Amino acid sequence: MKILLVSPAFHGYWHAIADALTQLGHEVSAHRYDAPDLRGRIANAVAERMQGAMARRAAESASELAAAALLRIRPDAVLIVKGDALTATWWDALSRSRARSAVWLYDELERMQYDVGTLQSLGAVMSYSTKDVSTLQSWGISAAHLPDGFDSLTPFISRRSGRVSFIGARYPERERLLQMLEANGEDVEAYGREWSRHPWDVLRTRRWKGAGLRAHRDVTRANYYGVMAGSVATLNVHGAGHDGLSMRTFEAPGVGGLQLIDRPDVASHYEVGKETLVFTSDEELRDHLARVRREPSWAEAIRTAGRARTLAEHTLVHRMREAVARWD
């Protein structure tokens, strides 16, 4: 099929999704609706902090550009990733185009701006959240669960270290856990703008006080794949308010990393204790890390099994095959 992918630029996942669709034999064009150039990123960041007319104008401008891409490309099908920032200008253009359509929601409904009518007008709705799938179905929408996945098509180089890594936003529970491990003698490092002490990152995030940890700036996906692969272990901390399992859930084992995740429901995708490790308390997390260092062969077996399971079942190519089947 000739597919138009309409997606935010978030961490380059649009590129990974486009590559997965191409791998399946489709002709793919991608449109990043949240303005990927420098001028656009600045305008988008300003719009996020605005209220009222200026914010609405920014959303309308983004929707007009997406509608123009739709008219220019004339696809057979359209896959919208998230898409809640787009206005009626886009959704009306999509309806007029008569292209098959689907939306993939990688965030919770409560943090998005969708109205029920818009979602009901789409050909297929998929969410990474099983809870939200139930909610959508209660609204009469034929929704399906589509988990996140691992971008197996991006090459990376393992960056070996003896540290415990964390890549992601700086939430209170994540900060507490990393500080607890540091106080317990673990060598911990965190990646992301909210952890970084670089002057520009401090200014734009307004995180005036550091976490007291070894901290790095944002890195590309290929680079943080290498960090996770080479770390003694990598943490995946969802915390409260996230029902869906994050991309990191599949990326960490996918690159051969040893994942320590705070979600027992990961058992629906991996065999806990053999393909990934779950912790539900500080003590359990410390015990896992102590065993990892004490029994490297045990840890290596988990890495190997987790990577094999991911490549067999949990790549973005697998996910896009499921998405395309929803159109069929």
Residue 320 lies in a domain: no
Q: What is the 3-state secondary structure (H, E, C) of the chain?
A: CEEEEEECCHHHHHHHHHHHHHHCCCEEEEEECCCCCHHHHHHHHHHHCCCCHHHHHHHHHHHHHHHHHHHHHCCCEEEEECCCCCCHHHHHHHHHHCCEEEEEECCCHHHCCCCHHHHHCCCEEEECCHHHHHHHHHCCCCEEECCCCECCCCCCCCCCCCCEEEECCCCHHHHHHHHHHHHCCCCEEEECCCCCCCHHHHHHHCCCCCCCCEEECCCCHHHHHHHHHHCCEEEECCCCCCCCCCCHHHHHHHCCCCEEECCHHHHHCCCECCCEEECCCHHHHHHHHHHHHHCHHHHHHHHHHHHHHHHHHCEHHHHHHHHHHHHC
> What pLDDT score was predicted for residue 80?
96
Q: Domain boundary at 93, 120, 146, which?
A: 146
Residue 26 lies in a domain: yes
The yes-or-no verdict on residue 43 having pLDDT over 80 is no
Query: Could you tell me if 222 and 185 lie in one domain?
Result: yes
Residue 209 lies in a domain: yes
Q: Domain boundary at 120, 146, 172, which?
A: 146
Query: Could you tell me if 142 and 182 lie in one domain?
Result: no
CATH of the domain at 203: 3.40.50.2000
Residue 75 lies in a domain: yes
Query: Could you tell me if 91 and 221 lie in one domain?
Result: no
Residue 264 lies in a domain: yes
Mean pLDDT of 50-63: 75
Query: Could you tell me if 12 and 131 lie in one domain?
Result: yes
Counted domains in the chain: 2
The yes-or-no verdict on residue 113 having pLDDT over 90 is no
Query: Could you tell me if 242 and 303 lie in one domain?
Result: yes
Mean pLDDT of 297-315: 98
Query: Could you tell me if 113 and 193 lie in one domain?
Result: no
Residue 321 lies in a domain: no
Residue 131 lies in domain: 2-146
133 within 8 A of 127, measured Cβ to Cβ: yes
The yes-or-no verdict on residue 328 having pLDDT over 70 is no
Residue 305 lies in a domain: yes
Residue 42 confidence class, pLDDT cut points 50, 70, 90 = very low
